[in-house]
Structure 1
């Protein structure tokens, strides 16, 4: 089996940066070293310097393929495989092969060559990568239909970036080193604008940086490298879920900003049993803050927090780690150095920053609330006293030495049952009372609180230790069970809350309804402080200082208008506050309410972003239209104007004596240029009238056959070749003569332009009911279904790449004219390949859209 060949890709941000030239230069270098190098396919695009590099390299003859009457040249894959060189040059790897020329894509042909053991040099522009296709379309307004999977390109053995500044590329373009002279102005004003080129260049650099990052991680993994390599700054900030988290995130963000391009990663270490003391509401707000500052949020599991932090930091190749200073008191630090000191000791080359904050020195108090209710504790105390009295009556006074052991067993069983029923404090009460009972009844001297025998004293002491230990264990188990149940309920509820944010068109209202239903509140509301409201001491009681963003209330209730009048007030940030009226929740439930408040802020932010996007979209569309119009004016209108101006200036010149034939030629050129200019200006005015809804339309009965031949006459010799299948017995259509002629001329003209030689388009018509359908069919390349809506967008030159075919208003105007006459214009596929435009018009006998009789 042949060893797989190597793939080297020359990646560029835009056409003309020199990818093909660099590839050819590498081919010469390898040939001069003795390698067997051939050209499989190289496209020079008429560039003289590139063609000079091709001349002295062996080229495998291309394969000629006929498709729909047109001849195309493609790489002959089979010929290259028979030749079997060491290195082959294959240009433009994202190219789609013509049907019948082998594989579907050229990169698939390259894969065949690689499998055969041939090394391939190829080229690619960043806009052809699948993951960046939509981004490039947003930047340039041009959709690339030929794409290649990112994963396949990333699998190349070498990727070399061919870089050039936008200014240098535009100079190269202006000097005619990229495109022909007649395409320079349009290219500079459209795709090759400085902003476009800068954005594409940044995309190329970022994409390649991501691949380099992945290669570095792979190398470190394969070679077992755990030390931090400071190839790129990565700042990790550790969050405990406490209130100091926002301070730490902002400090870490400032550290990251000092090194441009540094990554910010926030991480929270949760216990594997899920019983964490972190506040979910605070974590939600801190996550939002980290993401708003350009960072990412991560959560990992670990019992040993310092080791979990260091493992995460080394895993992401972090260079700096930010932690908060310890909140533990001095006594606690005497017995344990704390997470910060332990992490710093384990960090190695990672810099550790211990940041002070307002919570430093504040002791973290464990929650001491009993896991059982007060009623159960009282019942357990009564059970302890009753059971011990019963034990005393049943056992009576001891009659032998084993009585103490029997008594210990019974009292111990009583303590265990009491611990299960009432928790720690009733169990401790039972332990104390049980010890006194054992001393009173079962140790000598009897009926006295003294102990004569040392063995009895040891037994009593052991009983106390065991009883207290069992009480603690049982209480802790009960507490953990309750915490686990509460954590599970909170997790399920918070998952539902997060789901409400992600689903539905109005997640904020859904959150308010869910909060109202879950805790049986009377009303809930999210308030926002007005921008003009002062932050004085009385503003929280002033309803005028607050606006209700979203609310939910039970029947007959009203949302609270200000925080001061609420039963529960949960501040979200400086401007947002969640206010609730209703029963006071338990302490654990308040954490869930705070999580609701944090998610409500996220939902509000999403809704506002969606509204802003909807507001900006028309402005962006208007800006795109304005840009396209300026581009059209700068090129399409300037060209005929310049030709007419040059002709008239030449005729007025006294330095040259033109003959009669030359004068006629110049006058004809000026006349033709002015006619073209008139048509372009007319199209622009008509489009503005269409968009403003003030286009004048005069409908009258027309013979469709006469209109078709009139439109063909406008096309000159090209129109004579069109096949016409319009029967003379068709009823008259109700249309505007001028508009109908322009619609037919535009549609048939496009069909003629894209029809292959020997297969002219056809115009046919049929009648059904009160409508007439006109079909203009061609057998050209056609238009994919997903692109057909864009055919009717103004300033779109669909299928034209030379930027010399007018303003791109023809189809947009034609559809607008058809609809203005009460008809429609839509595309569909031609059987056997191609595009058919279906024009539907109303007959003269049909009643108008509003029931008006036809015009006489």
Structure 2
């Protein structure tokens, strides 16, 4: 069955008219004879929207009861049974009520599409997963309902429903969006002009990127190599000269004058044996390009002009900026600028800007064209060796066998020239052609043993021979080049097919896929890097293969930008332009595998969260049952009027009931903490000072926290953790220990390095271990607080375990990975014993012995 088509009406903010546009399209399609139904509509009390829905068939909603409240959701099964041609479904990113089947409405829409039904839907830009953090930064509101970008990218059509901020605010004032009691608050918060302008720009840029992806896909499918100037891309070519910083800035100014343009810098690493540029200068140029909002690239090639143009065509560049020296007329005629002239001649549809600078006016270096012509030094040497052996040997054979005349030697020498051309390329063949002509003249053209030619006809024959030999050599080399190019293309296709097959067989095993990429290109290591979004200044290794993988794009010898903030980096050797093209295609495969891996990971996390919720509910039920039984028995005792109660008995019954209610209250408070943690663990791992975390936790505990005793070594390495979550974990453990410890034996917190890790121990001196801290059959505590603590420890990459303390109580041991210590730093287990309230957190001497 053919899958249905998805059309999305995308808006920058609520109220721009997405739902109205969806209904208007539904009316138009229905007027053309198409069977259209409304699968779900959220008019939000807007009169014009409800009026536009008149005449369209509405599929009844499904009613659900959740926590004592009645909700309605789209009845997906009813839509599938109705089988219309087109279904209108509002608010694609909506989260369904538990019990509705799928968690998200877009998953319901996927089922409808799989059934061959077209869907027209609506979506706001703030619900896209990739823009969630940006929207929160702009509006100050965190979006709880998001949809993966890939779902929207797969849509057959995306239509932007646009409205200026002024028009949207007027619509708000006129009451078309929110009720009157919400207008003033909305205008002064979410619907501020600055917010709306930023959201509108986000929507336009996101949609522009999707259009660009579609255009690139169309050009590749149709084999279109010439650039289409739909978006200006300015490529600046760098040679590694110190004067090129001015060139970079001028190219950046050109890009700044064209809204929406991109700046790309490229440096060609030559393979013809010539000295390369200073790495320090290249590193400075890269930093400057990235600070100006551009991207830096390196390619490998024997011919600089060809490599630059190959890169420009691959990036669909529209303008090329080159640096040229100011020279006199004589220097320009004699020496010229080979790269500039050749690039300008071969640029085709790309505009070329040649910018000069006074500091670039130094004397140019005279360079000769490469003799190997890209075939490699080994092939060149083989060709020269074959010419040096074949021509003398053939001459000796012909001289020892007289009677050949002139035609026979010429044909044999021509065959030798062709063999040399096949082995070593054009230049050895040209030398062999000239040498063959001289040998024929010396040994076979009268007068023999002399380079003098007696008859003009013989001179013409030799000239024609040399010309034919040269033409044949050139034709043979071109054929060999095309054969090698075809073989290379076949290898590239086979490489991509092999990697794609490996990715399918290996599932979403990123390290295995990166290992295949590494071995395919002969690299020492490969890393998949992702930036934190803060200007790309912090990079994190998602997965890697090989030894000493690069941790930043600057550390790589070759790289391919997959998306914003995502880079595939390789270390070991620089790739030429052809290999880099295949490397970029492999990066796209890695990105797809990463997206699948993260989708599976999110699904596993949701399943694990569901299991934890079920376990917590069972735990709560088990903890509440005995307490409620106590309360029930106390109430029965109080109601029993037949049994007389003394004042002491009445007080005892009330104390039992009050204690049970207090314990129930504590369980409910713990459950509320769990609900706050659920889905809100945004983990940011970094080096954390354990001492700072402990003192902040003590402050969070209030006056009671000052009874804790902290024992820390004089020099303790930092740990890799999330500071906020680690503080919360220590606070939970310490608060529980303080509630149960006697006043004369407060809890102790100790920390010490152990085998490259750091152990934080909380020692409790309670008389006995509480029932809810006792482990179950799997060695996992049964209470709510222990489960919360264990989940927090796992989230930050640590391990939490419990053991009974000698003399009563228990010890909670949290083990975390230690951060790398500074060179020469000495970690000693010597402990210091001090009360937590002796010194404040801001005291620089807090790590001294107390």
Larger radius of gyration: 1
TM (norm. structure 1) is 0.46
Q: Which has the higher contact order (CA 8 A, sep 6+)?
A: 1
TM (norm. structure 2) is 0.46
